[in-house]
Amino acid sequence: MAVKQQEKEIVIALAGNPNSGKTTVFNELTGSHQHVGNWPGVTVERKEGVVRRDGRSIRVVDLPGIYSLSAYSQEEVIARDFLIDNQVDVIVNVVDAGNLERNLYLTTQLLELGIPMVVALNMVDMAERLGQKVDVERFADLLGVEVVPAQATKGDGVAEVLERAVSLARTGGPMAPRSARHNPEIESELAKLEGRIRLSPGSDLPLRWLLVKALEGDQSALARLEDCAPDGFEPTQAIEITRRHLEEIFGDDIEAVIADGRYGFIGGLLREVVTQAATVNRFSLTDNIDTILLNRALGIPIFLFLMWLTFKLTFDVGGLFVGLMDSGVTAFGAWVDSVLPDGPLGSLVVDGIIAGVGGVVIFLPNIAVMFTIISFLEDSGYMARAAFLMDRSMHMLGLHGKSFIPMLMGFGCNVPAIMATRTLETREDRILTILISPLMSCTARLPIYILFTGVFFPGHGAWVIFSLYALGVVLAVASGKLFRKAFFPKSVSPFVMELPPYRMPTFKGTVIHVWERTSLFLSKAGTVILAASVVIWALGSVPWGVEFGSGDSLVGQLGRVMEPIVEPLGMDWRAAVALFFGLAAKEIVVSTMGVLYGSGQGAEGGLHKALGLAFTPLTGCVFMIVSLIYVPCIATVAAIRRETNSWKWTLLSVGYSIALAYTVAFVVYRVGMLVGFR
């Protein structure tokens, strides 16, 4: 447990539907004081931030976006377990004012938990433009919780939400949250059950909520009831009897009756508090855009064009800055070289650190551009459209469109991609998606492509890189089919996904998003890549006196051992060493080459020339293909291990990718030779 502070920390949980603007509220609340970690036991990202108000620290936890507190997806399980098991002082429920009815469905369930709550009525601007007026006071009265109008994209109302939440946490809440009243028949049965279960003193489990959920057939709610039921009371039996009784009365599924009741309550509430001046379709613009972007004939070509544009921009816009960074690194290397005395120290800094780390850091602009575009696609709402478009194609793999979102995110970085499989409902789908996601070429592999295309295919970089990404996708599809047949010959799981209205991503949100990812890259450069560069420099320098990085050095001897493995692919021992160390992180492939070939002269200088001599266009291609396919990095392997919770799948993923890389590279090399490429 955390160290107790003088005054108890206030815990605020942010809950709401996906696309309700919850993340924007979170960003506004916590600003840069965010911390991204993992939820215990699972690799789902857990975002929290600590802010201080009047000398008290307030921990704001961003729960995953959910539609319900059922146990349908892992995100829902995480959110509800957090709310039930942790001492949450206040729930801030972010609600999209332009889509009240559906958003309040979750609200009615949150109310049943009996935790003090503030409803942040977000996007009121949008709602007003739609001609909708909300009587906030009446709304708060009927719900029995605080309601604060907000426009989080402008920062309006967020401070007040926090203020109300804090004062609610202090006073323990003057207003009792009012649960949605179910049908009278259900209410009387609930009252009977509540009378029969007395929770152990001190327990603050939300009994009413557990009973409703158990009636809806929720197994984990039932298990919790079993745990705390008094002797002589069998929850499973009692619930089953009640369930049958009620279904007889209504002649319908109890879940349908309860859902009906919730929407009935919401409908009544909205009739009292919302005045609709005119019916304006909020989706008129979105629907118009979708007739084009989701068009039967145009949809997929447009998607492919956008992907190509992504690589083009990554290459060209990023490239503008790469030249500058490269000259900077080269000049810096030359300056350090002139200042430091000749000898081991100078060699370590220039040949080891600057050649290695510098050789990777110059690609920061490309990586930043790529993440900016991916973040834009995600936040604008296009990602969900891509999933919709690809649903049919994904069915070939026995997956559905939703699996496509983690795959697309894999173009940024495989680790969050593997985390993003949390949105998939079945374990089979998750494992299958996890197995094929590493074939999505991440930004860490980009420096390798940019380096090699710069040497061998100047002027055609975007096309070559696009082809490599396409090859990754094709291999992912083929592998997916193979894995589905071999391991999960079952049917496809249900596909239901919301397509949010198109939105212009906020500047702040994009900056936070991109910063999170690029700072990860920078810290990798400062740690793993730096360490690897130093290790390789040391291996290249001993035994003392040999020519640095030559075949006689220790790294050379190591390389000679591995050379027979890569020789059939037309590569030398330096390539083998680079690929070997690249297992730790793909950027290290480039930094190792910088150390072994480049000797601190910057990419444009020595390294380019040396690569031009050591590789041919054909072996350059082969090298890029191997880099694309084999194990992405240690971090991805660790994520796969955590996420699948199985060594079997982890080892399969590692072994398969190495075997596949070798096979494809071998075939390409031999066929290339046969048809006369060099």
Partner 1 sequence: MAARPLSMVAAGEEAVVVEIRGGRGLQERLSSMGLAQGKRVRVIKSIGCGPMLVAIDNVRLAVGRGQSHHVMVEPCVG
Binding site for partner 1 (CB under 8 A): 67-68, 70, 72, 98-99, 101-102, 105-106, 216-217, 253, 255-256, 259-260, 262-263, 282-283, 286-287, 290, 294, 296, 384, 387-388, 391-392, 400-401, 492, 494-501
Element (H, E) at 61: strand 56-62
Q: Minimal distance in Å, beta carbon 397 to partner 1?
A: 14
207 closest CA partner among 176, 184, 235: 235
d(C-alpha 153, C-alpha 170), whole Å: 28
Q: Is the dihedral of CA 639, 643, 646, 652 positive or negative?
A: negative
* Three-state SS at 351: helix
Q: Minimal distance in Å, beta carbon 216 to partner 1?
A: 7
Q: Minimal distance in Å, beta carbon 261 to partner 1?
A: 11
Residue 111 has φ and ψ, to the nearest 5°, of -60, -35
Q: Minimal distance in Å, beta carbon 500 to partner 1?
A: 8
User: Which residues make Cβ contacts (< 8 Å) with residue 185, sequence separation at least 6?
Assistant: 246, 249, 250
Query: Between residues 155 and 264, which has the closer beta carbon with respect to partner 1?
Result: 264
Give 373-376 contacts, CB < 8 A, sequence gap 24+.
373/310, 373/313, 373/314, 374/310, 374/408, 374/409, 374/411, 374/412, 375/505, 375/509, 375/510, 375/513, 375/514, 376/505, 376/510
Query: Between residues 182 and 513, which has the closer beta carbon with respect to partner 1?
Result: 182
Residue 300 Cα to chain centre, angstroms: 24
Query: Between residues 499 and 511, which has the closer beta carbon with respect to partner 1?
Result: 499
Q: Give exposure, 307-316, as e/b (b: 16+ Cβ within 10 Å).
A: bbebbbbbbe
Residue 644 has φ and ψ, to the nearest 5°, of -85, -15
Q: Minimal distance in Å, beta carbon 387 to partner 1?
A: 8
Query: Between residues 29 and 212, which has the closer beta carbon with respect to partner 1?
Result: 212
Query: Between residues 101 and 204, which has the closer beta carbon with respect to partner 1?
Result: 101
d(C-alpha 298, C-alpha 580), whole Å: 43
Query: Between residues 343 and 494, which has the closer beta carbon with respect to partner 1?
Result: 494
Q: Residue 135: how many CB atoms within 10 A of its CB?
A: 14
Q: Minimal distance in Å, beta carbon 243 to partner 1?
A: 11
Q: Give exposure, 427-436, as e/b (b: 16+ Cβ within 10 Å).
A: ebbbbbbbbb
Query: Between residues 224 and 400, which has the closer beta carbon with respect to partner 1?
Result: 400
Query: Between residues 321 and 502, which has the closer beta carbon with respect to partner 1?
Result: 502
Q: Minimal distance in Å, beta carbon 236 to partner 1?
A: 16
Query: Between residues 260 and 516, which has the closer beta carbon with respect to partner 1?
Result: 260
d(C-alpha 100, C-alpha 97), whole Å: 5
Contact status, residue 591 vs residue 356, Cβ threshold 8 Å: yes
Q: Residue 70: how many CB atoms within 10 A of its CB?
A: 18
Q: Minimal distance in Å, beta carbon 417 to partner 1?
A: 21
Two tokens at 247? 């279904």
Query: Between residues 259 and 334, which has the closer beta carbon with respect to partner 1?
Result: 259
Two tokens at 656? 């398969």
Q: Minimal distance in Å, beta carbon 398 to partner 1?
A: 12
Query: Between residues 214 and 439, which has the closer beta carbon with respect to partner 1?
Result: 214
Query: Between residues 214 and 464, which has the closer beta carbon with respect to partner 1?
Result: 214
330 closest CA partner among 355, 347, 353: 355
Q: Minimal distance in Å, beta carbon 69 to partner 1?
A: 9
Distances from the Cα of 607 to the Cαs of 180, 236, 361, 602, in angstroms?
Answer: 69, 70, 15, 7
Distances from the Cα of 274 to the Cαs of 175, 270, 277, in angstroms?
Answer: 22, 5, 10
Contact status, residue 527 vs residue 584, Cβ threshold 8 Å: no
- The strand pairing partners of 20, in sequence order, are none
Query: Between residues 500 and 632, which has the closer beta carbon with respect to partner 1?
Result: 500
Q: Minimal distance in Å, beta carbon 62 to partner 1?
A: 20
Q: Is 675 exposed, middle or buried (0-12, 13-18, 19+ CB in 10 A)?
A: exposed
* Three-state SS at 48: strand
DSSP state of 181: P
Pairing state between β 10-16 and 56-62: parallel
d(C-alpha 274, C-alpha 618), whole Å: 67
Query: Between residues 256 and 659, which has the closer beta carbon with respect to partner 1?
Result: 256
Contact status, residue 149 vs residue 121, Cβ threshold 8 Å: yes
Q: Minimal distance in Å, beta carbon 524 to partner 1?
A: 36
Two tokens at 642? 């955590």
Q: Minimal distance in Å, beta carbon 142 to partner 1?
A: 20
Q: Minimal distance in Å, beta carbon 65 to partner 1?
A: 12
